[in-house]
Amino acid sequence: MPRLSVLDQSIATTGRPHGAAIRDTLALAHLCDGLGYDRFWVSEHHNHPTILGTAPEILIAAIAATTQRIRVGAAGIMLPHYSTFKVAEQFRVLDALAPGRIDLGLGRAPGSDGRTAFALNPMANERPAQFPADVRDLMAWVSAAPLPEGHPFASLRAFPQGESVPEIWLLGSSDYGAQVAAHFGLPYCFAWFFTDGRGGPEALKLYRDGYQPSERHPAPHAALCVWALAAETREEAEYHYASRAKWQLYRNQGIFGPLDPPDAALAHPYTDAEAARIEDLKERAFIGTGPEVAARIRNLASELDIQEIAVVTWATDEAARRRSYEILAKEFGLGTTAQKT
């Protein structure tokens, strides 16, 4: 049975203040800590009218301060936007706040449009090419390991130092992140929810075939992130999924906005082609009762030999979203001896 974690993105919903989405993230983290989920990750996006989580390092600090046992981290930090040294310092501080509970997921994609990438870093064209070297430097700085001989910043140390070290992950939705993770011997998480699974099996094979063991991770450790929503009945799950389905339909046309309530999404005047696309999305979505969604997750994990899956859930009804995580926690026996072994 796969271990279960959470990805939260602080989603904008029609008619609600943006600040409520950030506060909902904190409340969900507290709930999932008590339910027994392994990790709680937050994402990074910029200038995005749907996804409001722009500063994961701040959210992680707030979550770590209000939880007890769950690992907390970024999925991820878009490293080309930033000074690698500064990211190392931020996560050393986070590890001091919650020793042994901090995850540092790294991505190369901008998490934004091109103009926004330049607003974040005027060197946006050049920095992605430095990503492997940046990952190497970050690994050294967060763990107080030496940088390569002759490195111009070899004398620098990222403080505060301590006995524990943030766990670095590589994230991706293509082959690139899988290859970088394999090269450095790091855990890898594929964004299954972002690509609807396209490219996932190929990326995982590249990761495992090219894996170079590291001291911290002698064997490859692969995970997936899936979108899922469970409810008491399939009809209720499909009702709440209508919001996500409408958003997906228009995302694929380059149109972004807040998540509409289910009634508005269901009443939308779709064309015949759009309605057919909605049905196709619904057919492939991880939605339904607890046993139905759990079976889909277990089957995917078994098919791809995955030991860990993170679940991201969007709903305009926060109670329904929280209930979905409660239902899945029960289906997977989270917090029990069986789940921890």
Whole-prediction pTM = 0.95
pLDDT in the model for residue 111: 80
Tell me whether residue 127 is in a domain.
yes
Tell me whether residue 163 is in a domain.
yes
Side chain identity at residue 220, one-letter code = P
Domain that holds residue 47: 3-241+287-340
pLDDT 10s digits, 295-323: 999 999 999 999 999 999 999 999 999 99
pLDDT 10s digits, 188-237: 999 999 998 999 999 999 999 999 999 999 999 999 999 999 999 999 99
β-strand partners of 227: 312
Helix axis angle for 131-143 and 175-184, nearest 10°, is 40
Q: What percent of the chain has pLDDT over 70?
A: 98
CATH of the domain at 36: 3.20.20.30
Tell me whether residue 21 is in a domain.
yes
pLDDT 10s digits, 26-65: 999 999 999 999 999 999 999 999 999 999 999 999 999 9
Query: Does residue 336 have a pLDDT over 70?
Result: no
Which is nearest to 252 in space by CA: 278, 228, 288?
278
66, 89, 114, 156, 164 from 92: Cα distances, Å: 18, 5, 30, 14, 9
Tell me whether residue 28 is in a domain.
yes
pLDDT in the model for residue 335: 80
Tell me how many domains the chain contains.
1
Confidence of residue 338 (pLDDT cuts 50, 70, 90): very low
pLDDT 10s digits, 59-108: 999 999 999 999 999 999 999 999 999 999 999 999 999 999 999 999 99
Tell me whether residue 39 is in a domain.
yes
Average pLDDT over all residues of the chain: 95
Tell me whether residue 260 is in a domain.
no
